[in-house]
Amino acid sequence: MQELKHTDLLPNFLGIELNDSEKSTQVTYASFQERAHNAIEELAYTSKSNPIMLLTTSSDINIEDCIKDLISNTSMPKRTLYDICYAENLTNPLAPTWLHIKSGTATEFNTLICELLNKIQHKLDAEDVLLRILHKQDNNKKLEDYLSDLAIHIAEGKDFAHPVLMNLMVCHEPNQVPVIFGQDLTWKRLFGGVNYLTENGTTYSHQHLLEAGVLRKADGGFLILPVDELVRNPLLWFKLKNTLKAGLLDWENPTENPTSLVPFFAPEPTPINVRIILVGSYLNIAELYNYDPEIQSAIYLRTDLTSYFNLQKYGKSFLQYLYTLANKLKLLPFSDESMLRLVRESCRYAESQTEFLINEQKITAIMLEANGKAQRAKKDIIDLEIMTKTLLDHNFRSNSVVEESSEFYHNKQMLISTDGDIVGQINGLSVIQTFGSDFEYGEPVRITATIHSGGEGDIADIEHKADLAGQIHTKAMMIINGYLTNKFASIDPLPVSANLVFEQSYSEIDGDSASLTGLCAILSALSKQPIKQSFSVTGAVDQLGNVQPVGGVNEKIEGFYRICRIQGLTGKQGVIIPKSNIQSLILNDEIIEAVSNGMFHIYAVSSVDEAIELLTGVKANLASSNQENPNQPQALNNEVMKEQTPDIYTLILEQLDKINERTSYQKQESLLSTIKKFFTKKA
């Protein structure tokens, strides 16, 4: 057992401070992503044709900027990029053909083509121009064949179906690998499509009415696609997978009926050379796997974007990231104290004193709001006061439900005792998440336990019987039952059963964080030792009585403190948490001050013994009870225990012995009565 000091309730920021020169270092979210950087590098250099990388991420970051930063920070292999041009098919105008032109040469290519056509039309020697074009295009064989056919076509005086011969459909920046982010995906946006015109009742199309789509625009580079959009339209995924495998992208569109438009218009399929990055949450990726069980065979790489980082290892980089973000948003300067307050908030998001969570969306919103407050206050810097006020306002706008809850305790509509001693009654801690937001708050709950003889020696969990409990909660109740039978029924069955109730709870309960609380209530009822109502308890427990960590510990502590403040702080109130949750504590300033002044207490325990001793003031002796020889007669164990100072274990055994004796006597009396009735009837 350990009572925590106010200094134990916050992270240690020593060693992560920055000097002025370090503040100017540019650090982005991508700078923290070592795994993703490794995967992007492999994706860039792999010789696999049209590889797909699956990137798991959360929705609280700017994924487009992050991936573009990862790619820009990765050395790329030297690779010739090509623009995509569709030209009129000289033998079949209904089947335009594609041509590749080296990126960055489009203007020069256009000039030389015009010169070539002019010389041919005037029956001048155009061989030198043709050779110059082919030389500039690295003697592209397909282009050479097309230009040769073009020369013959013009020389023979044949006409063209469209006055402009070629359509430069995709044009890349020279020496810059294209990185395209696809969103609001439709069939045409992703794969391109054919547009049509109607004139005098006739529908037609040509190479200038072809629309590229992001897949062609990303040729030679990277295409980033959100998985959730593929899940909404699975046909896009199957078409994409088959196209990448074949390396050719056609112009078919299943949503169109080509026979009602131009039945024989069929542009030549485009060769595809692209690297795909599919981005989505675990849930969306699981849905895509559900649609396509064979998706794994199409995935070349898989990695994650992580958001949790060690404070001591990455603390300085995180501060530099915050300064970089502030500069990017063009905000007022931040003081060192205000930035550290943001780091503290990020540690709270991670529920850890040793780690922080980068939630770019929340951090950006807080920074922008703090900047606005500083400007309205006519300050030239965002100091700690402004940052603290921003965080308080950020919380205030979401906590109306907390104020409504507090009114129930003010009006005594919710019954919670924070003083006195009661047998079989204990204060538990729960976390409630509001619908439609990620706002969570702590809410104490009164748990009562009663004991009755008979039954099967088990725990009747009222929540479970009323269908108000989830599976994890039900498992926790079974673990409590396992602990009790291990301690007190290793030889004979328990002669009692227990009822456990979460009072004034009318919604579903789930999780195992109340298992320590429920067990202590039952131990109190079994031993008839009252529990101090000034305490509230949270923690999971195993069958051996070890206390295990739980989530939401900060909100739980703050929730009980809120009720204690409403009913009046006495200096005796506090909470009992798992010892392994100490590193999760990032509490608000009011509680830290109350702990510092001795008006509120936080105890960390590692076993049921420590918890029940704090709650009852009676030594437990549960862990040291004689369980090594379960075959030893129970009467001998009881006799040894009675010679010692009564403890929880002894008191419970005495109560069980009394119930056993009374039950045996009642059974004996019942048997004698039955025998007497039998012989009386015979006579």
- Is residue 5 part of the annotated active site? The answer reads no
Residue with tokens 């009467």: 635
Number of other residues whose CB lies within 10 A of the CB of residue 84: 22
290: tokens are 């559900």
Helix ranges (H only) for 329-458 are 336-350, 360-376, 384-396, 400-410
- Is residue 453 part of the annotated active site? The answer reads no
126: CB partners within 8 A, 6+ apart: 116, 119, 120, 151
> What would the DSSP string read from start to end of 447-475?
EEEEEEESTTS-EEEHHHHTT-B-HHHHH
Q: Which amino acid is at 223?
A: L
Q: Is 21 exposed, middle or buried (0-12, 13-18, 19+ CB in 10 A)?
A: exposed
557: tokens are 């502590």
Largest CA distance in the chain: 142
Report residue 211: phi and psi, to 5°. Answer: -110, 130
Q: Please answer whether residues 427 and 417 qualify as being in contact, where contact means their C-beta atoms are separated by less than 8 angstroms.
A: yes
Residue with tokens 């328990």: 494
Q: Which amino acid is at 114?
A: C
CA pair distance 201, 219, nearest whole angstrom: 37
Coil, helix or strand at residue 487: helix
Q: For the chain, how many residues are written? A: 683
Given the residues 513, 524, 534, 584, select the one marked as catalytic. Answer: 513
CA proximity to 67, closest of 177, 174, 203, 192: 177
CA proximity to 130, closest of 118, 106, 113: 113
CA pair distance 210, 200, nearest whole angstrom: 21
β-bridge partners, 101: 83
Q: Please answer whether residues 230 and 278 qualify as being in contact, where contact means their C-beta atoms are separated by less than 8 angstroms.
A: yes
Given the residues 102, 487, 532, 556, select the one marked as catalytic. Answer: 556
3-state secondary structure 45-99: HCCCCCCEEEEECCCCCCHHHHHHHHHHCCCCCCCCCEEEEEECCCCCCCCCEEE
- Helices then strands, counting H and E runs in the chain, come out as 24, 28
Q: Please answer whether residues 510 and 468 qualify as being in contact, where contact means their C-beta atoms are separated by less than 8 angstroms.
A: no
171: tokens are 């044009």
Number of other residues whose CB lies within 10 A of the CB of residue 266: 16
116: tokens are 């070539």
What are the residue numbers of the active site? 513, 556
